[in-house]
């Protein structure tokens, strides 16, 4: 009986020890599995997402170029391409995006006055020299009597197009225009009796076969796969129409926005723009 009792006690002790060890093992496994998930969660908490609406070319291309550098600084840059650029300012106003990158100051000023947007500019990035393109003509001298010229119909770019024609000696605008807005009604001298077709900017590349020529924004030229070097004439690098980063007023000092501005104005970005686009896109910093 003594021996049986000893065996019973021994077996009971072994079962108890096994249960204790199993409990310890379970605790260690749970601890080990929670540790990796905690680490990414902590990392995600420190990363900020910045949603920037942009035109496809070159704006989104340039933004995607700086994306890795911003990632290293804790900014997840979410580039949202808008096919309809006219929706980029409403999207910013409605807080669908944190910033946009597609427009220049004269356009922004004209649309702010019209819509009452409370926006601020944080940095200039590039100029897209607007140019005169034609499927029919080989030089400016071939622009003949009564030629039909397509120009953008939004206020600031229409003025911009007419000023380009004036600088080429093809027309003369009335003096005193200071609002970056003009239409063909503001032409006081048109020696070749040029006829102007005012159209949505995005339609002008497709309209070239039906026109003697058109003045087209470079981003639209690039999207349409037109060689920017084929422009008969274009703005020079001193154009006031630098494309800008725009935010809602009050967000200028947002840390992620500051990092974006800094990333977009580095020597590396300048070289990337020059190597990628040549004469079509000129760094503005």
Q: Is residue 35 part of a domain?
A: no
Residues 140 and 210 occupy one common structural domain: yes
- Alpha carbons 183 and 175: distance in angstroms, whole number: 13
Cα–chain center distance at 165 = 28
Among the listed residues 172, 214, 218, the one whose alpha carbon sits nearest the alpha carbon of residue 197: 214
Query: What b/e sequence results for 265-285 when a residue is b if at least 16 CB atoms lie within 10 Å of its CB, and e otherwise?
Result: beeebbebbeeebeebbbbbe
Residues 112 and 194 in one domain: no
pLDDT by residue (tens digit) across 220-245?
A: 998 899 999 999 999 876 778 999 99
Domain end: 234, 251, 271, which one? 234
pLDDT above 50: residue 54: yes
Asked if residue 74 and residue 165 are part of one domain, the reply reads no
In this structure, the number of other CB atoms found within 10 A of the CB of residue 127 comes to: 21
Same domain, 61 and 124: yes
Q: Which two tokens stand for residue 200?
A: 């949505």
Q: Burial-class residue 48 by CB neighbours within 10 Å (0-12, 13-18, 19+).
A: middle
What 3-state class would DSSP assign to 78? strand
The helix/strand/coil state of 182 is: coil
pLDDT digits (tens, 9 = 90+) for 93-123: 999 999 999 999 999 998 888 899 999 999 9
Tally of domains within the chain = 2
pLDDT bracket for residue 16 (50, 70, 90): very low
Q: Kindly tell me if the per-residue pLDDT of 126 is higher than 70.
A: yes
**Is residue 44 pLDDT above 90, yes or no?**
no
CA distance 146 to 167: 19
The pLDDT of residue 34 is 30
99, 143: one domain = no
Between 109 and 68, the higher pLDDT residue: 68
Residue span of the structural domain in which 250 resides: 46-129+240-283
- Give the pLDDT of residue 209: 97
In a domain, 40, yes or no: no
Environment class of residue 13 by beta-carbon count within 10 Å: exposed (0-12), middle (13-18) or buried (19+)? exposed
Give the pLDDT band (50/70/90) at residue 180.
confident
> What CATH number has the domain bearing residue 136?
3.40.190.10
Confidence bin at 41 (pLDDT 50/70/90): very low
The answer to whether 256 touches 48, Cβ cutoff 8 Å, is yes
Do residues 62 and 76 both lie within one domain? yes
Write phi, then psi, for 214 (nearest 5 degrees).
Answer: -150, 150
Residues 106, 135, single domain; the answer is: no
| 204 and 124 within one domain | no
For the cut 60, the answer to whether the pLDDT of residue 36 exceeds it is no
121 and 89 in a common domain: yes
Pair (125, 244) in one structural domain: yes
Phi and psi at residue 51, to the nearest 5°: -95, 115
> What pLDDT was estimated at residue 238?
72
Tell me if 10 is assigned to some domain: no
185-194 per-position pLDDT tens digit: 999 999 999 9
């Amino acid at each position: 009986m003594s021996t049986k009792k000893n065996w019973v006690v021994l077996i009971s002790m072994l079962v108890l020890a096994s249960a204790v060890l199993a409990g310890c093992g379970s605790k260690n496994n749970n601890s080990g599995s929670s540790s990796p998930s905690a680490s990414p969660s902590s990392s995600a908490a420190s990363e900020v997402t910045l949603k920037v609406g942009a035109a496809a070319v070159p704006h989104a291309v340039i933004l995607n170029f700086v994306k890795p550098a911003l990632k290293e600084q804790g900014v997840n840059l979410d580039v949202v391409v808008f096919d309809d650029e006219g929706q980029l300012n409403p999207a910013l106003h409605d807080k669908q995006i944190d910033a946009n990158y597609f427009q220049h100051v004269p356009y922004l000023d004209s649309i702010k006055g019209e819509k009452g947007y409370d926006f601020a500019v944080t940095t200039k990035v590039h100029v897209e020299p607007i140019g005169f393109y034609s499927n029919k003509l080989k030089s400016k001298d071939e622009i003949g009597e009564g030629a039909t010229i397509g120009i953008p119909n939004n206020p600031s770019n229409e003025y911009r197009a007419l000023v380009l024609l004036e600088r080429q000696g093809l027309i003369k605008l009335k003096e005193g225009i200071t609002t970056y807005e003009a239409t063909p009604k503001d032409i006081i001298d048109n020696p070749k009796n040029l006829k102007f077709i005012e159209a949505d900017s995005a339609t002008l590349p497709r309209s070239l076969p039906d026109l003697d020529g058109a003045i087209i924004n470079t981003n639209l030229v690039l999207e349409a796969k037109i060689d920017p070097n084929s422009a008969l004439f274009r703005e020079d690098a001193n154009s006031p129409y630098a494309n800008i980063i725009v935010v809602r007023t009050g967000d200028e000092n947002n840390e992620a926005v500051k990092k974006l501005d800094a990333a977009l104005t580095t020597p590396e970005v300048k070289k990337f723009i020059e190597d990628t686009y040549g004469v079509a896109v000129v760094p503005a910093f």
